[in-house]
Copies of this chain bind each other. A is one copy, B any other.
Amino acid sequence: MIYSTAKKLLILMPFIFISACGAGNTSDQQWRSLELSNTVLLTLPHGKVVIELAPQFSPRHVEKFSELVKKSFYDNTKFYRVIDGFVAQAGPKNGSKKDRSVANIAIEGQFSTDKNWSFTLVQKDDLFAKKTGFKQGFALAYNDSNSAWLTHCSGTLAMARSTEPNSASSHFYFVIGQSPRYLDKVMTIFGRVVYGMQHIQAIQRTSVIEGEYAVDSRDYTPIISMKLMSDVPKAERIVIEVENTESTKFTERLIQTRARTSKFFYQKPPPVLDVCQVPVRSRLVKSQD
């Protein structure tokens, strides 16, 4: 259990507080494999990206998105709203038949938690929430109530919408800059990039500053293809494992990171962690043959 491990470590490092809440799925497995049917391979002209979906938090959005991916809905669509330091958004041509063909999805900005719910605590009294932490690789926040929510860290995948809360359909965005946490809860996050984030960062920006020429829409970055990894031929699969955020190793890493024990820190920074600045690492098990 994370909790007892944390207690043991606290004896060694009495000034460092870190623990998990409740009885979680604690494990000594440092790495976790991803289910192929829960993983998406996004092929861009300049590189391949792997996304882990989050059906445990946003089931309706994952179901709809997976269904669209399965029918190659996104192939040849473009990233048409790309703002440096903010988001890269893609989808079918606004108002087109294809666009209108997708029914709206009810928002899933939060998910219910019961008294047995647990997560790996990262920080109390974060600027935007009472607590932040991780659950199954996803960064989240929690206010000690009966719900929690995924947080808009860089690399998260969320569904765009218009003014109405339940108006998301097929347009999605990746966060590519400093976490816009003010979008937490009011948007539905349903996945995160686990491989190839540098290719998401290299998507052609479509937004210009005052005084610049508009970017020609023919230069917008297209999606070559998007497939569930389970539908990708074996030889072309990219197999990724991610850090198990419920593992004792991960909890130990949080403690180490927060303590900043390296001599490099001749002055200690405040003993706090920004949940969006703590990477959940991936490793490559198999690249494309």
Contact residues of A with B, CB < 8 Å?
84-85, 109, 123, 125-129, 153-155, 163-165, 176-186, 195, 197-198, 201-202, 205, 209-212, 260, 262-267, 269-270, 272, 274, 276-277, 279, 281-285, 287
Q: How far is the CA of A276 from the CA of B81 in the complex (A)?
A: 21
Q: Given B153, B154, B264, which contacts A186 in the complex, CB threshold below 8 Å?
A: B264
Given known contacts A178-B154, A264-B186, is B127 in contact with A201 (CB within 8 Å)?
A: no
Query: Distance in Å from the Cβ of A210 to the closest Cβ of chain B?
Result: 4
Q: Do B197 and A274 have beta carbons less than 8 Å apart?
A: no
A84 closest partner in B (C-beta): B198
Q: Do B270 and A128 have beta carbons less than 8 Å apart?
A: yes
Taking each of A125, A165, A182, A197, which has the highest tally of chain B beta carbons within 10 Å of its own beta carbon? A182
A286 closest partner in B (C-beta): B211
Can you identify 26 A-B contacts, CB atoms within 8 angstroms? A85-B154, A85-B197, A109-B267, A126-B127, A127-B127, A127-B274, A128-B272, A154-B178, A163-B262, A164-B266, A177-B277, A178-B178, A178-B179, A178-B274, A181-B274, A181-B277, A182-B270, A182-B277, A185-B267, A186-B265, A186-B267, A202-B202, A210-B283, A211-B283, A211-B284, A212-B287
Q: Do A179 and B127 have beta carbons less than 8 Å apart?
A: no
Given known contacts A185-B267, A201-B201, is B127 in contact with A272 (CB within 8 Å)?
A: yes
Given known contacts A210-B284, A287-B212, is B277 in contact with A178 (CB within 8 Å)?
A: yes
Q: How far is the CA of A4 from the CA of B143 in the complex (A)?
A: 36
CB-defined contacts of A279 to chain B, threshold 8 Å = 85
Q: Do A178 and B202 have beta carbons less than 8 Å apart?
A: no
Q: Do A185 and B269 have beta carbons less than 8 Å apart?
A: yes
CB-defined contacts of A155 to chain B, threshold 8 Å = 85
A196 closest partner in B (C-beta): B84
